[in-house]
Structure 1
Amino acid sequence: MDMSDAEFVTSYCEESFRALQAFVGEKTCTDSVLEIANAITEAFRSGHKLLVAGNGGSAADAQHIAGEFISRLFFDRAPLPAIALTTDTSVLTAVGNDYGYEKVFERQVLGLGVPGDVFLGISTSGKSPNVLTALAAARSRGLKTIGFTGKQGGPMSGLCDILLAVPSQKTAIIQQIHLTAAHMVCGIVEAKIFQRKAEI
């Protein structure tokens, strides 16, 4: 018998809660959030920028993250330099057409990234070819590489200086916690940069 809609809602919320509890309970997850925030803070303080990319829902997350840095999160302050590599349709379609979809982020990293910048690649499976090629390109250019992924990590783990691996194998749950982690990172970064206490 299929569960009712109400049962689905309850079940989904319970699973989300368990995954978030597991995330909070794993010291490696907390350590990763802090390391990522410190890396981005260091980049901003030295005049560098953050580049972010992902596919599908993770593309939306990349744009959301860049938006939090450029606009604001918890208080009014000056914008911070973050660019989502998922928004320029002319670049995405030109590179996709001329070089293939696997190159859509790599070409932007090579064109925009400089040593000292940070590249954040988001892939729930850790296997997205265009994110992997962008991570490799970022490393070749001297960018700090950060990955947001799921429990397995996949080949992405070998290309990241810092990896945040959500303890779940379900895409939707992983994406939820990615955004929660991104808000924590942004909150810490803006507090450090503007010398405020990190708080909601």
Structure 2
Amino acid sequence: MDKYISDIFDEMRETQTRFIAEAAPVLIAISTEIAQCFINGGKLMIFGNGGSAADAQHIAAEFVNRFKMERPPLPAIAFTTDTSILTSIGNDYEFNDVFIKQVSALGNENDVVWGISTSGNSENVVRALREAARGDMKIVGFTGRDGGKMKGLCDLLFQSPSENTARIQEIHIAAAHIICQLVDEIMFGRFAG
């Protein structure tokens, strides 16, 4: 078991090394887009399934509450938190509509929509991104592997450099934390003005 654990850490380090080498330009672009959205009075809407749903909620909390610095709350919504909306749409229509209906109801052209799918092929995420494009919203995607169907739908796409779902998710939350910190610095800190 010691070797098994050591191999997992080796894979994590290899993925992190690729992430560090490749990620800066897209993370800067995503952070700048989100900061501009907030400055322009827009909101951030985040969604995904399973672990990606948990990440969406985690990221929204970092913006609404605070990340590292004291600053005003920022408008971010995780579409996975309202069980009445999720279950009514899933029951009356289908689960693939749970995010598209929320984008349609709540999204405006000043907003940023952030879809998370490790495969890039989650149908409910893909449908919501297509709806966001029809509404002229900026689209951010977090995927892994080859980007899947999301690759052609996003204005800005971050692809975790792995095929392993666990490694993809670990990199996603690290990248999200970097984005949270950069947005804070762009709006209120060292990169403001």
Measured against the shorter chain, the TM-score band is: over 0.9
Q: Which residue in the other structure is 2:148 paired with?
A: 154
Distance of 1:130 and 1:8 partners within structure 2? 35
Matched, 1:139 2:119: no
State the AA in 2 paired with 1:186.
C
Q: Which residue in the other structure is 2:13 paired with?
A: 17
Give TM-score scaled by structure 2 length: 0.97
Residue 149 of structure 1 deviates from its aligned partner by 0.2
Residue 30 of structure 1 deviates from its aligned partner by 1.6
State the AA in 1 paired with 2:18.
A
Q: Which residue in the other structure is 2:76 paired with?
A: 82
Q: How does 1:42-191 map to 2 (within 5 A)?
A: 42-191=36-185
Structure 1 residue runs of 4 or more that deviate by more than 4 Å after TM superposition: none
5+ residue gaps, structure 2: none
Distance of 1:83 and 1:7 partners within structure 2? 41
Residue 195 of structure 1 deviates from its aligned partner by 2.8
- State percent identity of aligned pairs: 48
Distance of 1:197 and 1:158 partners within structure 2? 31
State the AA in 1 paired with 2:130.
A
SS at match of 2:108: coil
Give TM-score scaled by structure 1 length: 0.93
State the AA in 2 paired with 1:95.
I
Residue 11 of structure 1 deviates from its aligned partner by 1.2
Distance of 2:191 and 2:131 partners within structure 1? 35
SS at match of 1:116: coil
SS at match of 1:155: helix
